[in-house]
């Protein structure tokens, strides 16, 4: 009889044992890598410390003193009060009213700036090249307009007696806008200033978002169109997630810019509106420091604003880190 040798099948043959391979170590994780990172950041840190370190130290130092015109002129000694200026602010109802005004005003400006800029960026992708170039040129002209000039132009357009806007509205039958004052009521005054801020700010958002849209691969959008997706659905489910880092950048920058607005409010509401109804933190700080000569109290307001903006920046960096944009 012939001797039969069993043949191992694929189901019974043991899997080959591969030697364990160690994972390659990531470069730049040791102390040498961290030192290299700090060396790259050193020039920028030196410039920031030189330009911002001493003024910030002086701002904090002045906020701890009862610092008035008498101390500035040398007619009275400095009186260290510690956190008294901060206690005065947090116990003053006007401070919380001004803070609420600032938050509401800045939020409205940011939302409308993003909506207008984002909508025009999407609209620009559908335009012919020469029309798109004209749109960008005109919009960047508004962005380059100084805040003082833009505020003066806006006040002239919305003037109660000679303004073009009131004349047009009254001419189409809205007689209530004849001699209507846009700066008398608190919220119409805020709306007027917000419209000027949006007019000056939306071009940055439009150009930035348009650049992000151009970076999206056309194959992805075309594949969605072939599958029958509408343009709003493509923008919501495909383009917007890919534009998230850019949207985050323009959102945080808009928050910082609008939180610090001074010129538009001060010029268009004549220093904060009737009885200070349109006061925001920057104008309130100016009124306390220079109009009332309470330099210590104004410095405390400056410190509070700096802390709030730093908190916004930290939140922004954490969101970027979570999304994988920074390490």
Residue-wise DSSP of 180-229? --TTTSHHHHHHHHHHHHHHHHHHHHHHHHHHHHHTS-HHHHHHHHHTT-
Asked, for residue 114, whether it belongs to a domain, the answer is yes
Query: Which of 18-27, 45-54, 188-197, 240-249 bottoms out in mean pLDDT, i.e. has the lowest?
Result: 18-27
Asked, for residue 45, whether it belongs to a domain, the answer is no
DSSP H stretches of helix in 49-175: 54-62, 69-73, 84-90, 93-124, 129-144, 147-157, 164-171
Would you say residue 135 has pLDDT above 70? yes
Q: What is the pLDDT averaged over residues 220-241? A: 80
Give residue 195's pLDDT.
Answer: 92
Q: What percent of the chain has pLDDT over 70?
A: 87
Domain count along the chain: 1
Task: Identify the residue whose tokens are 């604003």.
Answer: 305
Pick the more confident residue, 240 or 22: 240
Would you say residue 9 has pLDDT above 80? no
Would you say residue 22 has pLDDT above 80? no
Would you say residue 140 has pLDDT above 60? yes
pLDDT grade, residue 2 (50/70/90)? very low
Q: 32 — phi, psi (to 5°)?
A: -65, -40
Asked, for residue 215, whether it belongs to a domain, the answer is yes
Give residue 324's pLDDT.
Answer: 57
In angstroms, the CA 297 to CA 279 distance is 16
Give residue 8's pLDDT.
Answer: 45
Instruction: State the chain's mean pLDDT as an integer.
Output: 82
Asked, for residue 294, whether it belongs to a domain, the answer is yes
Asked, for residue 10, whether it belongs to a domain, the answer is no
**Residue span of the structural domain in which 198 resides:** 97-322
Asked, for residue 44, whether it belongs to a domain, the answer is no
Q: 80 — phi, psi (to 5°)?
A: -70, 125
Asked, for residue 25, whether it belongs to a domain, the answer is no
pLDDT grade, residue 96 (50/70/90)? very high
Determine contact, residues 316/252, Cβ cutoff 8 Å. yes
pLDDT grade, residue 190 (50/70/90)? very high
**pTM of the model as a whole:** 0.78
Residues 269, 271, 277: CA angle, nearest 5 degrees = 65
CATH of the domain at 275: 1.10.3720.10
Asked, for residue 78, whether it belongs to a domain, the answer is no
Give residue 257's pLDDT.
Answer: 87
Which of 105-114, 138-147, 272-281 ranks highest by mean pLDDT? 105-114
Would you say residue 321 has pLDDT above 80? no
């Amino acid at each position: 009889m012939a001797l039969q040798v069993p043949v191992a099948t694929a189901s019974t043959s043991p899997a080959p044992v591969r030697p364990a391979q160690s994972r390659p170590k990531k470069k730049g994780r040791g102390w040498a890598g961290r030192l290299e990172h700090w060396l790259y950041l050193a020039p920028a840190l030196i410039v920031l410390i030189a330009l911002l370190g001493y003024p910030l130290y002086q701002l904090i130092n002045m906020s701890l003193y009862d610092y008035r015109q008498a101390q500035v002129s040398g007619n009275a000694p400095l009186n260290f009060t510690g956190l008294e200026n901060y206690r005065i602010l947090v116990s003053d109802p006007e401070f919380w009213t001004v803070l609420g005004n600032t938050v509401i005003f800045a939020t409205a400006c940011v939302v409308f700036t993003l909506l207008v800029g984002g909508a025009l960026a999407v609209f620009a992708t559908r335009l012919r090249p020469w029309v798109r170039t004209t749109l960008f040129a005109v919009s960047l002209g508004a962005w380059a307009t100084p805040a003082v000039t833009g505020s003066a132009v806006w006040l002239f357009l919305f003037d109660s007696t000679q303004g073009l806007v009131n004349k047009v509205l009254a001419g189409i039958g809205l007689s209530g806008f004849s001699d209507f004052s846009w700066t008398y009521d608190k919220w119409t005054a805020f709306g007027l200033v917000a419209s000027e801020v949006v007019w000056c700010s939306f071009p940055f958002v439009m150009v930035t978002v348009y650049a992000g849209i151009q970076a999206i691969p056309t194959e992805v959008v075309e594949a969605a169109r072939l599958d029958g997706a509408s343009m709003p659905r493509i923008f919501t489910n495909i383009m917007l997630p890919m534009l998230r880092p850019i949207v985050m950048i323009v959102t945080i920058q808009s928050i910082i810019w609008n939180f610090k607005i001074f010129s538009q409010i001060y010029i268009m509401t004549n220093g904060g509106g009737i009885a200070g109804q349109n006061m925001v933190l920057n104008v309130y700080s100016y009124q306390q420091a220079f109009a009332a000569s309470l330099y210590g109290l104004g410095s405390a307001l400056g410190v509070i604003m700096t802390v709030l903006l730093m908190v916004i920046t930290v939140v922004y960096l954490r969101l970027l880190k979570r999304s994988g944009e920074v390490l």
